[in-house]
Amino acid sequence: MTDEQVLGHADECDGIEEFDNPSPTWLNLMFLGTFVYAIFYFGWWHVWGNRSQAALYDAQVAAAEAAAPPEAKVALEVTPETVAAGQKVYTANCQGCHAADLTGATGPNLVDETWIHGGALEEIQQVIANGVASKGMPGWKPIIGEAKVNQVAAFVYDRSHQP
Amino acid sequence: MTATHPEPAGNAEAQGRAPSSVAYDDWIVKAFVVATLLWGFVGMLVGIYIALELPFWPANLDSPYLTFGRLRPLHTNAVIFAFAGNVLFAGIYHSMQRLLKTRMFSDALSQIHFWGWQLIIVAAAITLPLGLSQGKEYAELIWPLDIAVAVIWVVFAVNFFGTIAIRKVKHLYVAIWFYMSMVLTIAMLHIVNNLALPATLTRSYPIYAGMTDALVQWWYGHNAVGFLLTTPFLGLMYYYVPKTANRPIFSYRLSIIHFWALVFLYIWTGPHHLLWSGLPDWVQTLGVVFSVMLWAPSWAGMLNGLLTLRGAWTRLRNDPMIKLWVVALTFYGMSTFEGPLMSIRDVNSLSHFTDWTVGHTHSGALGWVGMAAFASVYYIVPDIWKKKLYSRDLINLHFWLGTAGIVLYVVPLWVAGITQGLMWKDLDASGNLVHGAFMDTVRVLLPLYWLRLLGGLLYLGGLVVMIYNLVKTVRGEAAEPAAVPAPAK
Ligand code: HEM
Ligand code: HEM
């Protein structure tokens, strides 16, 4: 690039001179490459690929369901196993509203004397399974399945009935 | 440092610029420079404060006015519209008068522009901590202020195009084209995105609903980045890089091609902020592919800058202003490679909602916008105050503080973003989240947040050094008229 010539309009540009070098070849190829990529990416999604966000979601859920081990039935009973498993379910799903120590936040305290829907194991299980839609307590059975509902009910019962 | 090269600043003759008989309006440039430094300091101080609040919430001092949710928009508005905005105005008023060999079209409009803009900033600094917000990112200001912004912007536009109309040269240098793209596009974006029905003096409802509102918002949001933080700064680059290095621009052709490519491609990319959302798939895809196509034109700008400096490589080691430009251009290249990458759906599903985005933001903001702003101001101040720069060693110190600050800001946030993204995606054998509690993922990030705070402190320290250096410059010796450089301190 020793024979570069300035364009010579510096007096029009406050003294700034300009060369007129060609754009580097690799940059031109890169620009072209991104156009090719763009065409293929668009086609892959919408022309021959026929992909869609909704279809991808369905496929992922189906794959996860197929891969998941069949859910073992868990009886509604308070045992060290159900309580330990229930604690995990609680941490993942409930502590945002009922607090990590179950003393309540958006949702009510679960370890005090008062129960809105009753403190028996079956009553606790029912409210968790079906929720109280009007008050903002989701029904959990369709979300986490019956086994986990039974486990977390055992956990809540266990913590709320400590001597 | 030796005295082998001329002081680039404050010395028209040394650069082959004919001494001009035009009486330029330098007061307005000085005013915008002072505002830049002042608001830059305030805006970044607020940035440091919110960077402290993230790992240490008691810093909100139990006051609603100091909560993260209110101070964050104060930070973004202050650094974008007050720091970046004012430095652009300073650079534009300084360079366009000289490029077009004429005083500004109207001194009155210049004054209205300056004072109006500062008043809006003060109003923003009051309303945002009070919690008055439209709730749209970068468009938080309430509707009366939006109207004020529109009016002041039109004042600026009239002054800007008026000056072009009365110019004394025929050719419009490429920097002016880049400025023009900002003046037109920001007006359009600001007005369209803020169309709303006022309900009370401080509250309004957007005329768009749901997904349309989101799309308009990010069409605005991305192009605020594109046409405020990118193209006009490229304009500054095209003026101050050749001036600082005293070298011809590498390629006129390249500057024209990448200008048109950038302005054409940018405007379509907004949907990359709304990937995996309810936006129709094909609109998302358009956002993806236009973002990827932006890569080469962005790098063309970086290359044109770096290759212009090519002839000054020998000065790279000892001229701190050239070093500032090299870092600015390199981070421009870095963030415009990272951006297209983050626009690809599969990458975005990891990066979105994480600190990776914030890291990307600041590699552009601190690396490109900040360093380019500093380098420009270091050129402008000695030039218009007609003083000799107080200390090049202090610029060097600023360079190192700034660069170290950027690295300490950006690298921890990459780690934080990727860590958190992977933790969110982590599922156990039966398809449950391994880290079900959001807090569990936040706790892991705390040390990284402290590092980011340290990075911010270094960066702000650099700005303080700059302000000291410039105050000393303005109070110091007058520039010598002849091209005999004094040995630097
Ligand atoms: C001392 C320097 C700075 C510090 C410590 C700092 C700190 C921060 C923090 C803590 C946030 C909030 C991140 C979050 O929500 O997690 C933020 C956001 C932001 N800052 Fe800064 N900042 C600094 C300088 C700047 C500058 C100079 C600019 C622009 C020119 C800038 C532009 C922004 C933007 C656009 C956002 C929003 C980012 C997003 O939504 O992803 N900052 N900053
Ligand atoms: C080719 C150029 C670029 C592309 C394609 C690009 C792309 C992106 C993408 C994909 C995101 C993340 C969106 C999300 O997941 O929510 C993003 C965020 C962001 N980028 Fe860039 N970027 C580019 C250059 C830049 C530059 C140079 C800057 C700064 C000067 C910048 C500033 C920002 C900001 C402030 C955000 C945060 C927006 C928010 O508040 O969420 N970008 N960009």
Angstrom distances, CA of residue A93 to CA of A144, B151, B278, B442, B471: 9, 50, 25, 17, 58
User: How confident is the model over B256-260, as a mean pLDDT?
Assistant: 96
User: How confident is the model over B287-292, as a mean pLDDT?
Assistant: 97
For chain B, give the number of residues.
Answer: 489
Q: What is the pLDDT of residue B403?
A: 98
**CA B258/CA B301 separation, integer angstroms:** 7
Q: What is the pLDDT of residue B164?
A: 97
Kindly tell me if the per-residue pLDDT of B166 is higher than 50.
yes
Contact: B300, A23; criterion CB under 8 Å: yes
Task: Kindly state whether B101 is in contact with chain A, defined as any CB-CB distance less than 8 angstroms.
Answer: yes
Name the token pair of B330: 């390199």
Contact: A9, B242; criterion CB under 8 Å: no
Of A17, A37, A68, the CB nearest to B431: A68
Put simply, the chain B residues between 400 and 419 with a CB less than 8 A from any chain A CB are none
Kindly tell me if the per-residue pLDDT of B150 is higher than 80.
yes
User: How confident is the model over B384-390, as a mean pLDDT?
Assistant: 95
User: How confident is the model over A73-87, as a mean pLDDT?
Assistant: 93
Q: Fold for B27-475, please state it.
A: Cytochrome C Oxidase; Chain A (1.20.210)
Closest of B2, B21, B160 to residue B101, by C-alpha? B21
DSSP states along A43-112 = IIIIISS---HHHHHHHHHHHHHHHSPPPPP--S---HHHHHHHHHHHHHHTHHHH-TTSS-SSSPPSSS
**CA B162/CA B410 separation, integer angstroms:** 41
Rg (alpha carbons) of chain B, rounded to whole number:
23
Lowest mean pLDDT segment, chosen from A68-82, A106-120, B42-56:
A68-82
Q: How confident is the model at residue B485 (pLDDT cuts 50, 70, 90)?
A: very low
Q: How confident is the model at residue B3 (pLDDT cuts 50, 70, 90)?
A: very low
Model pLDDT for residues B208-230, shown as the tens digit of each residue: 999 999 999 999 999 998 999 99
Kindly tell me if the per-residue pLDDT of B169 is higher than 50.
yes
Closest of B38, B51, B34 to residue B458, by C-alpha? B51
Half-sphere exposure of B426 (CA within 13 A, CB side): 15
Q: What is the pLDDT of residue B20?
A: 53
Of B98, B285, B429, the CB nearest to A41: B285
B56, containing H or E segment:
none
Shortest-distance Cα residue to atom 26 of ligand 2: B364
**CA A31/CA A29 separation, integer angstroms:** 5
Model pLDDT for residues A6-32, shown as the tens digit of each residue: 888 888 889 999 999 999 999 999 999
Q: What is the pLDDT of residue B474?
A: 96
Model pLDDT for residues B52-77, shown as the tens digit of each residue: 999 999 999 999 999 999 999 999 99
Ligand 1 atom with least separation from CA of B459: 1
Residues of B242-255 as b/e, b for ≥16 C-beta within 10 angstroms? Answer: bbbbbbbbbbbbbb
Q: What is the ipTM of this complex?
A: 0.87
Kindly tell me if the per-residue pLDDT of B482 is higher than 80.
no
- Residue B131 in contact with residue B124, Cβ under 8 Å? no
Q: Chain A contacts of B429, Cβ < 8 Å?
A: 68-69
Q: What is the pLDDT of residue A3?
A: 53
Q: What is the pLDDT of residue B438?
A: 85
Q: Chain B contacts of A28, Cβ < 8 Å?
A: 296
Q: How confident is the model at residue A70 (pLDDT cuts 50, 70, 90)?
A: confident
Pocket of ligand 2, candidates B335, B344, B362, B413: which has the most ligand atoms within 8 Å of its Cβ, to mutate? B335
Contact: A14, B95; criterion CB under 8 Å: yes
Contact: A22, B253; criterion CB under 8 Å: yes
- Residue boundaries of the structural domains of chain B: 27-475
Closest of B222, B254, B221 to residue B237, by C-alpha? B254
Lowest mean pLDDT segment, chosen from A36-45, B313-322, B458-467:
B313-322
- Residue B469 in contact with residue B398, Cβ under 8 Å? yes
For chain A, give the number of residues.
Answer: 163
Of B249, B429, B437, the CB nearest to A91: B437
Share of chain B above pLDDT 70, in %: 94
User: How confident is the model over B404-412, as a mean pLDDT?
Assistant: 98
Burial of A107 (0-12, 13-18, 19+ CB in 10 A): middle
Name the residue in chain A with its Cα closest to that of B238: A16
User: How confident is the model over B147-176, as a mean pLDDT?
Assistant: 97
Model pLDDT for residues B7-35, shown as the tens digit of each residue: 344 444 444 444 457 899 999 999 999 99
In Å, how far is B432's CA from the nearest CA of chain A? 9
Pocket of ligand 1, candidates B272, B361, B374, B401: which has the most ligand atoms within 8 Å of its Cβ, to mutate? B361
Higher pLDDT, A11 or B383: B383
Q: Chain B contacts of A18, Cβ < 8 Å?
A: 248-249, 251-252, 255
Ligand 2 atom with least separation from CA of B352: 15
Helices then strands (H, E): number in chain A? 6, 0
Kindly tell me if the per-residue pLDDT of B5 is higher than 70.
no
Kindly state the DSSP code that residue B488 receives in the 8-state scheme: P
Question: Which ligand is located closest to the Cα atom of residue B137?
Answer: 2
- Residue B459 in contact with residue B370, Cβ under 8 Å? yes
Q: How confident is the model at residue B481 (pLDDT cuts 50, 70, 90)?
A: low
Residue with token string 């030039």: B383
Q: Chain A contacts of B296, Cβ < 8 Å?
A: 27-28, 30-31, 34
Contact: A18, B252; criterion CB under 8 Å: yes
- Residue B287 in contact with residue B271, Cβ under 8 Å? yes
Mutate to test the interface with B, among A13, A52, A58 (most CBs of B within 10 A): A13
Task: Kindly state whether B300 is in contact with chain A, defined as any CB-CB distance less than 8 angstroms.
Answer: yes
User: How confident is the model over B328-354, as a mean pLDDT?
Assistant: 97
